[in-house]
C-alpha cells in the first residue's frame, strides 16, 4: 500500500474510532441524564404489596389478596427484558374475589431484589419455594394451585417436583420447552448460560445504558407485538413494562436472560416427570407457537392441553374464555362444582 493510501486508511480508522467514542459517550450521557431511574412506579396489581426477606432468593415482593377462603392460587409472570407481575393481571383480578390469590415478582423483576448477581433457574425455583412456604404458613398446609407463564413454567415444574405435597395442580400458559430449540434432556438443574457474554453485557459503565436502549417504548412495543402476534397489544401492559424496566437494577436479570443463564437444560424431562394435574394453554399466533413436542404429554391422563387462536398471552386477548377453561380444569380436579372458583 502506498504512503497516501496508508494515510487515508489511518484517517478513516481514526474517524471511525472518534465516531464510536462519541456514540458511546452520547449513550452514557443519555442514560445518566436523560432517564430518571429513580422515578416511583405504582403497584402492578391491587391488594397488598408485601415483601419477604429470604435466605436463598433475596428480598421478594408479592401481591396478596387473601380476604376470602379457599384453595390459594399462586401466579408467576414470564421472563423477558421488562417482566413483572402485571403480566398475570387478568387472572389476579378475576380470582381475587373468590379465593386467596398471590402474585410473585420473581428475583430481578418488579419490586423484588434487583441486585447484580447471577440469575439462574435454581434462583427462581428457590423464590417459588419461599413464596409457597409463605402461603402455606398463612393458610395451613393445604396444597395450592399455581400458574406460570412462558419460561417460568419450567421453574414451576421443577419446584413442584421437589415439593409435590405443596401443590394441588399446575397451570402452564404458553410454556417454553416444547419447541425444537429450547426443549432439553440435558444435565439436570443446569442452564444454558455463557459467562463471557454476561460479563460483556452486565458490566459498568455501559451495561445500564445498553439496557436502556433495549427497553425504549418502541422496542418494548415491538417485542410485545411479537408476543401477541398482532399490533393489537395491551397498552396498560406496555406502559407498566416501560416504567418497570427503568427502575434501578432492572438490567441485571434481563442480561442473564439474554446470556442464557435463565434457560434450563432439562425442560422436556421436567414436564415428562409431572404427575400432578396439569392444564396447559398456548396460542396459535406470533413468534411463540412451536409446540412440536407437546404430544409427549398431551395424551397423558394428568395433562389437559388446549390452544386458542391468540398470541402467547391469551389471558389478555380472551380473558373470559381463558378463565372459564381454567375453572373447568379446576372443577375436574375436585370433582365438586362447589369447590370451583366463581
Domains identified in the chain and CATH numbers: 48-339 (3.40.50.1820)
Beta bridge partners of 52: 60
Nearest CA among 70, 56, 130, 139 for reference residue 98: 70
Does residue 22 surpass a pLDDT of 50?
no
Measured distance CA(296)–CA(290) in Å, rounded: 14
Q: Which grid coordinates are listed for 48?
A: 397488598
Measured distance CA(63)–CA(92) in Å, rounded: 9
pLDDT classification of 336: cutoffs 50, 70, 90:
very low
Contact 299, 185 (CB under 8 A): no
Nearest CA among 109, 116, 106 for reference residue 154: 106
How do residues 319-335 score in pLDDT, each as one tens digit?
Answer: 999 999 999 999 999 64
Per-position DSSP letters for 294-315, written without gaps between them: THHHHTSTTEEEEEESS-S-HH
Q: Which grid coordinates are listed for 183?
A: 426443549
Does residue 176 surpass a pLDDT of 50?
yes
Residue matched to cell numbers 421472563:
79
pLDDT classification of 31: cutoffs 50, 70, 90:
low
Measured distance CA(104)–CA(112) in Å, rounded: 9
Measured distance CA(174)–CA(153) in Å, rounded: 8
**3-state SS class at 267:** helix
Residue 278 or residue 295, greater confidence: 278
Contact 246, 39 (CB under 8 A): yes
Q: Please tell me the pTM assigned to this model.
A: 0.89
Beta bridge partners of 62: 50, 104
Lay out the sheet containing 144-149: strands in order across. Answer: 48-54, 58-65, 101-105, 73-76, 144-149, 167-173, 278-283, 303-308
Residue 87: predicted pLDDT: 98
pLDDT classification of 102: cutoffs 50, 70, 90:
very high
How do residues 244-272 score in pLDDT, each as one tens digit?
Answer: 999 999 999 999 999 999 999 999 889 99
Nearest CA among 148, 184, 163 for reference residue 282: 148
Q: How is residue 164 annotated by DSSP?
A: G
pLDDT classification of 39: cutoffs 50, 70, 90:
confident
Cβ neighbours of residue 232 closer than 8 Å, sequence gap 6 or more = none
Residue matched to cell numbers 439474554:
258
How do residues 111-136 score in pLDDT, each as one tens digit?
Answer: 999 999 999 999 999 999 999 999 99
Amino acid at each position: 500500500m502506498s504512503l497516501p493510501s496508508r494515510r487515508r486508511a489511518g484517517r478513516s480508522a481514526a474517524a471511525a474510532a472518534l465516531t464510536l467514542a462519541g456514540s458511546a459517550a452520547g449513550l452514557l450521557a443519555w442514560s445518566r441524564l436523560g432517564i430518571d431511574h429513580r422515578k416511583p412506579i405504582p403497584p402492578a396489581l391491587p391488594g397488598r404489596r408485601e415483601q419477604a426477606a429470604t435466605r436463598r432468593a433475596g428480598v421478594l415482593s408479592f401481591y396478596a389478596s387473601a380476604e376470602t377462603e379457599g384453595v390459594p392460587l399462586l401466579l408467576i409472570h414470564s421472563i423477558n427484558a421488562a417482566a413483572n407481575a402485571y403480566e398475570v393481571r387478568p387472572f389476579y383480578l378475576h380470582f381475587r374475589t373468590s379465593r386467596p390469590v398471590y402474585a410473585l415478582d420473581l428475583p430481578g423483576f418488579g419490586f423484588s431484589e434487583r441486585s447484580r448477581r447471577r440469575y439462574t433457574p435454581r434462583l427462581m425455583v428457590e423464590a417459588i419455594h419461599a413464596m409457597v412456604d409463605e402461603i402455606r404458613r398463612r393458610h395451613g398446609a393445604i396444597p395450592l394451585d399455581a400458574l406460570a407463564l412462558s419460561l417460568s413454567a419450567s421453574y414451576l415444574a421443577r419446584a413442584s417436583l421437589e415439593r409435590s405435597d405443596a401443590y394441588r395442580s399446575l397451570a402452564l400458559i404458553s410454556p417454553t420447552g416444547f419447541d425444537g430449540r429450547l426443549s432439553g434432556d440435558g444435565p439436570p438443574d443446569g442452564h444454558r448460560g455463557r459467562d463471557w457474554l454476561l460479563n460483556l453485557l452486565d458490566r459498568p459503565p455501559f451495561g445500564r445504558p445498553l439496557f436502556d436502549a433495549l427497553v425504549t417504548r418502541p422496542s418494548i412495543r415491538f417485542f410485545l407485538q411479537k408476543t401477541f402476534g398482532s399490533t393489537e397489544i395491551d397498552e396498560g401492559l406496555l406502559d407498566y413494562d416501560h416504567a418497570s424496566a427503568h427502575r434501578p437494577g432492572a438490567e441485571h436479570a434481563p442480561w442473564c436472560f439474554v446470556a442464557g443463564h435463565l434457560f434450563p437444560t432439562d425442560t422436556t424431562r421436567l414436564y415428562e416427570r409431572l404427575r400432578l394435574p396439569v392444564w396447559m394453554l398456548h396460542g396459535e399466533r406470533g413468534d411463540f407457537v412451536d409446540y412440536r413436542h407437546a404430544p409427549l404429554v398431551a395424551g397423558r391422563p394428568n395433562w389437559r392441553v388446549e390452544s386458542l387462536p391468540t398470541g402467547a398471552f391469551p389471558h389478555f386477548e380472551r380473558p373470559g374464555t381463558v378463565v372459564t377453561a381454567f375453572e373447568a380444569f379446576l372443577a375436574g380436579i375436585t370433582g365438586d362444582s362447589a369447590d370451583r372458583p366463581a
